[in-house]
Every structure is written in C-alpha cells, then in structure tokens.
Chains A and B, each alone.
Chain A
C-alpha cells in the first residue's frame, strides 16, 4: 500500500485548468518533496487531497483510503501544516491546541507543553496577539499531537527563523525515523534537498518531473560570482557555463555540471572572493526544464 497514490487528478475553475492530469506515488516512510514556483498548483493539489476542494476528475488514495469517500477516516491519520495559518483569534494557543486534539482519538495532549517548550511558544497568548512565526509554531505543534501516519506540510518554514527551522527539521527527521511519511511542499530547493529522497516538480498545474534528489542536484544550476585579485588575461570558463558577465575584475555566470570541475577551475585563479548561489526556481525552470 502506498502512502499517497494520485492518478490523473484534474481541477478546473471555470476556464482555468489548475491541475492537469496530476499523478504521483509516495511510498510509506518516504520524505517526498513537492516543488514548484508560487501559483504552480502545489497548494491546490494538497487542498484536493485533504478534501477542501472538489476535484473535477481523477482519483487519489491516501493510506489506502479514497479521498472522496473516506475523507473523515484518512484525515484522522494526517497532520496538516498550512502555508498560511488562520486560527480562531479569540482562543489562546493552548485552547486552540486542546480544541484541535479533541477531534482525534489518538491525541496525546502531554505533547502540547513538551513541543511548546521545544519551539519556545507562549501557550497563554491569544492567537490574535501572535506574530506570523508564532502562529506557524502553533500550527506545527498542532499537526504532531495525534501521532499522524502522514504529515502534509505546505511551505512549512515560511515565517520561522533559522534556529526554529533547524529544530523543526530535526523533529521531522525523528518522526520520519519512527515511520511517519512526509509530504513536503516548498518553493525553496535547499529545504527539499535537505529533507527529501525524491521530489515531484510541478509547473502550471502539471507534474513535469518526479526525480531522485541526487539527480535533481546534478542538473541544478548554480549562480557563480567571482572577484579576481587581478583581471585575468585568460577568460575561458569551465564547461557548462553560460550567461557570463564581466565587470573589470568581477565576473558572474551560471554553471551546470560537476561541482568538482568548478572548484578546480576556481583553484587555478588568484581570487579575492567567490559566492556560489542557489538560483531561484524560475531560473531552474528556464535553464533546465525548457532546454
């Protein structure tokens, strides 16, 4: 049995085709990435899986349960972290978390204090008074309370500072070791790289690739900026470079290829400074998927 099995899922909003024949499978215990630029259909696909929106055609099963027919049952096994957190303003975090936990038969409310301490969340504050990041922490705690078999995370790190992101990732790693399947949606490639074994790439409502993270990495372009001590006489770049721009002794270009080749090329020059940067997703699509 697969953790998630999606077959030819479609969603139309009038003339707008939000999901086009979306199909993918996630094994139990896997950490599966879902990556694409904003507006690509990541959240739409997740909302369809959770039963928040009706699909136009296609089928999907989560942990063996049909999303249309057994929504209530399958949601009892899912922990869902929304990208934008909207909770009941008049409740305190503790009230919200207890209210949420009471919907499940598998909840462990002792985890509330434990996790609040871990994420440094003040449980007595009203939701209304929480910052964006603190609301997110509340949402994170909420999705772990009932020991879900599957975590569906939609842009989970937005609003979290790097320290909390780290703690969150560590918590995810522990949960995953216990057997929890994780469906991780994000537009930040480095997060997907850190967490996932495989990832689906979605663009304009279509899954354009399902790949091992390793092969995604090899195809990944890097933005390279170099400051030479002296402007070099020889201006040949390593194989796989493009879009080079010179400005006196400063150079920037994009590189796709083995990282060791790039490093040995950098080594041959007398450098002041160098920066290797992950490109934004749009340029990955431009440079890789449309080539």
Chain B
C-alpha cells in the first residue's frame, strides 16, 4: 500500500462522503422519527394494510406486523432505501476510483511515478473500503441512536445486528461489482446510471420475484434474495450466502487487478 496515494484518495473523496453521509443520516432519522406517529395510529394502519393487495405488501417487505415495532418499520426502509443509498455511494466510488484517473488523463501522471500497478489497485481498494466502512459505520450509528430515541418498546438488538450484517455484505458486494464494471466500460461514460440501475434494479428483481409466484425464479438473480432484511427473529443469518457473495467479490477484485495490470494507458 502507498500511504501518499491512500491519503490523497481519502481527501479527494471526502466531500462526496460528507454529502452521502448527510443523506443517509437524514433519511435514517426521518424514518425512525416517523415511527411513533405510525405506532399511535396502530389499528387504523393495520386495517389499511389489510386492504393492500398482499403481492404489493410482499414486494415492499411489509405485512401487518410492520407497524407494530420500530424494527419492523425500520427494516422495510433499511432493506429498500438505505442499503441502496449507501450502495450507490460505495458502488459509484468503486466504479470511478480507478477509472477517474483515466477519464481525467491523470493515469499518465500516476503510472509514471515509482509505484507498481498492483500497488495502485491495492491502495485504491483499501481507500474504497475505508470509505465504504466509514459511511456504513456512520449510518449504523445513526440508526442505533435513532432507535433509542424513538423506540416505544424494547428493541431486539440481535435482530438489528443481523439486519445490518446482511446489509454490509450486500453493500460490499455491490461495491466490488462497481470496480469490475469500471474495467470494461469506457471511462468517458457516466457510471451513475449503471450504478443506480444495478442497485435498484436488483432490488426490484427480488421484489417482483417475491410478489408473484409465477416469476419467483427472477429473485435468484438478485443478491437481495439471499440476505433477507427482516425483523423476523426466526430467520437466521445466511452465512453461506454471505460467504459466496464475499468470495465472488474477492474474485471480481482479483480479476480487476489482472485487467488493470495489462491495460494500455491512452495518451
């Protein structure tokens, strides 16, 4: 790892990190702050839920219980928006952290310094995962604080931890896909569309598969299918899926390193 490059990457991305952190902190607090009002409405909401077609409810990860505990309420938002928001930041950073140098023609500067391409990739990945863990840590902390402020009843923290571990695996998996994509897509492209499509797209694949039995096979193409974000304490953490997704992630990073090692840098 090259310390000089590492520090520069953190500095270069700190503005984006601050913006996205504020977004996820704000969103987390907003969701948790709404909960007490929802809980007050209690029965009204339950009867409202019954009027919603069960397919839609399943797709959104909601059921009648959703509104009865803060974890249930939080899980529907965490599973959809928060993981996707954090992933958009980490995946787009992953997609640009190496390719931005090419887009801006600064790779020539970087690669003519006494640093090997492998060191560049390793250092950039360490920076990327440092940034990813920072935003993940910030969001988790915000959620813990929010839970304590707004929970009406006791919170089952083991369920919370499992939920957030599944979230972490998903976020890391998306991040590595971002890195690999940047090796194939021309750096002149804007990666944001691909990144949003990837994160929201795979979420909706899972949602569609869950809501209609006829197309349940669609879910298999979505990582969300394997790591369920739920407040149901009987659903165990899927260690196998987590291991497979993380291994796939490592394979993608190794592949990216190989591709970058042989790449011709255009002038």
Contacts and interface: CB of A to CB of B under 8 A. Distances in A.
Contacts of B109: 82, 86-88, 100
Nearest to A89: B104
Nearest to B5: A103
Contacts of A84: 105, 267
Interface stretch (B89-97, B111-119, B142-150, B225-233): B111-119
Given A87-B106, A88-B106, A100 B114 contact: no
Nearest to B8: A99
B258 interface: no
A80 interface: yes
A261 B165 CA distance: 88
A103 B114 contact: yes
Contacts of B264: 52-54
Interface string B108-152: 110111111001000000000000000000000000000000000
B115 A72 contact: yes
Nearest to B113: A103
Interface in B243-267: 262, 264-265, 267
A52 B115 CA distance: 12
A29 interface: no
B108 A75 contact: no
Contacts of A59: none
A100 B113 contact: yes
Contacts of B106: 86-88
A54 B12 CA distance: 29
Nearest to B100: A88
Contacts of A71: 116
A76 B112 CA distance: 9
Nearest to A79: B112
Contacts of A82: 108-109, 112
A50 B264 CA distance: 11
B115 A47 contact: no
B112 A80 contact: yes
A51 interface: yes
Size range of the chain B interface in the assembly: 20 to 34
B110 to A, nearest CB: 9
B61 to A, nearest CB: 41
B4 interface: yes
Interface residues of A, number: 26
A106 B131 CA distance: 31
A108 interface: no
B4 A102 contact: yes
A72 B116 contact: yes
Chain A binding site: helix, strand, loop or mixed by DSSP? loop
A90 interface: yes
B114 A72 contact: yes
A216 B90 CA distance: 58
A147 interface: no
Contacts of A90: 12
B241 to A, nearest CB: 39
B105 A50 contact: no
Contacts of A72: 114-116, 119
B98 to A, nearest CB: 15
Nearest to A127: B106
Nearest to A80: B112
A81 to B, nearest CB: 10
Contact of A75 (B8, B107, B114, B262): B114
A53 B114 CA distance: 16
Nearest to B261: A54
A86 B116 contact: no
Given A47-B265, A53-B265, A78 B108 contact: no
Interface string A86-104: 1111100000000110111
Interface in B20-44: none
A104 B113 CA distance: 8
A100 B109 CA distance: 9
A148 B120 CA distance: 22
A103 B112 CA distance: 10
A74 B265 CA distance: 18
Nearest to A43: B267
Contacts of B262: 54
Contacts of B265: 47, 52-53
A99 B4 contact: yes
10 contacts: A50-B111, A52-B112, A53-B265, A54-B262, A54-B264, A71-B116, A72-B114, A72-B119, A82-B112, A86-B109
Task: Please provide the 3 A-B residue pairs with the shortest distance between their CB atoms, ordered closest to farther.
Answer: A86-B105, A76-B114, A103-B113
Interface of B: 2, 4, 8, 12, 104-109, 111-116, 119, 262, 264-265, 267
Given A72-B116, A89-B104, A99-B8, 5 more contacts: A52-B107, A71-B116, A75-B114, A76-B114, A84-B267
